[in-house]
Amino acid sequence: MVAPVSPVERARVRAVYERLDAVYGPLRPSPGDEPLGELIGTILSPSTTDINSGRAYQRLRAMYPRWEEVIDASEDEIYEAIKPAGLGRMKAPRIKQALREVLRRRGELRLDFLAEMPLDEAKRWLISLDGVGPKTAACVLLFSLGRPALPVDTHV
């Protein structure tokens, strides 16, 4: 559930965002970062290093170049692909379920539509996916769609 943000908090965040934008320029998504890939990469990231989650993501994509193939794979096969990230027995079903749910709700494995939604609605949509919390939703919105969302966890 997304906590309501007061107008004062929203103004403070906007001021910080504008200062950062003035100094560093607008945030641009990295080439190749597509929203669904960002979602799966972020699901792989808890309790591991960026290097290990990156390896796991690359192995998953090498074994299954299309997201539909991940849905069709067994959880054991997904587990083998994502082993470098650790906690594969927990992460494999979450990945599979997230992909299934996106496909069920949207009829396709894409999250680009979130770019056109109001920000709070897009966050709620992502958080409604099983295993997706506020940090993962913010990562997808910020890093792949360039939306003003702030991912925060124990590492930030």
- Do the domain assignments include residue 8? no
In contact, 35 and 114? CB cutoff 8 Å = yes
DSSP state of 144: I
- Do the domain assignments include residue 100? yes
- Do the domain assignments include residue 27? no
- At 66, list the tokens: 């299309």
- At 12, list the tokens: 């403070």
- Do the domain assignments include residue 129? yes
In contact, 116 and 127? CB cutoff 8 Å = no
- In this structure, what is the dihedral angle of CA atoms 141, 143, 146, 147, given to the nearest 10 degrees? 30
- Do the domain assignments include residue 124? yes
pLDDT of 2 above 70: no
Known catalytic residues?
Answer: 135
Specify the pLDDT at position 24: 87
Specify the pLDDT at position 25: 83
- Do the domain assignments include residue 111? yes
Specify the pLDDT at position 110: 96
Specify the pLDDT at position 102: 98
Q: Which amino acid is at 154?
A: T
Specify the pLDDT at position 27: 65
pLDDT of 17 above 50: yes
In contact, 28 and 21? CB cutoff 8 Å = no
pLDDT tens digit sequence for 85-139: 999 999 999 999 999 999 999 999 999 999 999 999 999 999 999 989 999 999 9
- Do the domain assignments include residue 13? no
Q: pTM to 2 decimals?
A: 0.80
What CATH number did the domain enclosing 68 receive? Answer: 1.10.340.30
What lies within 8 Å, CB to CB, of 151 at 6+ separation is 135, 136, 138, 139, 142
pLDDT tens digit sequence for 24-82: 887 665 544 799 999 999 999 999 998 999 999 999 999 999 999 999 999 999 999 99
Single out the residue of 37, 42, 38, 17 nearest to residue 27, CA to CA.
17
Specify the pLDDT at position 31: 41
Q: Based on the structure, what is the number of domains in the chain? A: 1
Asked whether the CA dihedral 112, 105, 98, 67 is positive or negative, the reply is negative
Q: What range does the domain containing 105 cover?
A: 35-144
